Amino acid sequence: MIGRSPSAAEGTATIAVRAAADKFIREQRLHPQRLKPNSKQCSYRSAKALRHPKADAPPSFSATWKAAALFCAVALALLARPATASELAILRNGFSIRHEHRLAMGTTTRLFFSADDSSFTDVPTAEITGYEKDLSLPAPAESQASISSPAQPAPALNEVVESASATFHLDPDLVNSVIHAESGFNSRAVSPKGARGLMQLMPSTASQLGVNDAFDPEANVAGGSRYLRELLERYNFDLVKALAAYNAGPLRVEQYQGVPPFRETRAYVARIVHEYNTKKIAQEKEAKQKQAASKSTRKATAHAYRAPQPATTAVHAASPGGVPALR
């Protein structure tokens, strides 16, 4: 007899169907040509029960376990995807800064670019309108050739700025101020007009500067620094005109013989000049404080090691001639 024996818990109809199916199987084995699925000994329902003996049976424990295992496998596959806990700080100027986490410090908010807090930027809290989850897709997998070669760590942004500034003879503080105003240190920033990257290079400008990937921080900062140097030389190192040309274009600066009367351009130039001057004033103040502290330290050291003065010679007795004898 094939299958399990009918139990008392099963209904009479189920027992009858299984009994008919068992009988059909036995006779089919003895006389394979005698019985067909539509014969009197086996109704259509019996034949269906024969083809699917467990069709009407409740799901077994093994089926439930398989379903649970399948659910766990799907969950693990979803969890295996790279998690992106990054956020975007939305600024009033329309740009956003991608960061891993942040720290509010009164009127300033510090945005950390990495989990180990090694790279960050400070932004006025009033300039941040809100935060959003970074829903950008993870970077595509590298090819087998690139995986086989040792991966070189990407240099930090301050190293990129220092290198480009040294190459084109610019002050790194000026380049950082331009980056802050242009993109808020967001290497993936794209303006409504199509400017891209840290220093917001337009595609045509990037092509002229030899920048193939405007989202590459090194290439973008190098191209932007080169362009800024060219503008400074063009306007005899007039920083205000060079910044205005960087924002509105050289044609506009020449058309208006200076900063164009555009609200965006005037605010852009004022912001960079103010930030740059603030940095320079703070650096000069810190240098003076260090110089004063060093001078005080030198004076204290010189006083401590000053040679003792010879003591005044005392008069111990008078000589016979009335002249004091000195000892």
Q: Show which residues are catalytic.
A: 182
User: Which pairs with CB-CB distance under 8 Å and at least 24 residues apart come from 96-103?
Assistant: 96/132, 96/184, 96/186, 96/189, 97/121, 97/123, 97/184, 97/185, 97/186, 98/134, 98/186, 98/188, 102/131
Query: Which amino acid is located at 282 in the chain?
Result: A
Residues 6+ apart with CB under 8 A from 22: 1, 2, 3
- The per-residue DSSP string of 77-109 comes to HHHTSPP---EEEEETTS-EEEESEEEEETTEE
Are 121 and 77 contacting, i.e. CB atoms less than 8 angstroms apart? no
Helix (H) or strand (E) segment spanning residue 225? helix 217-234
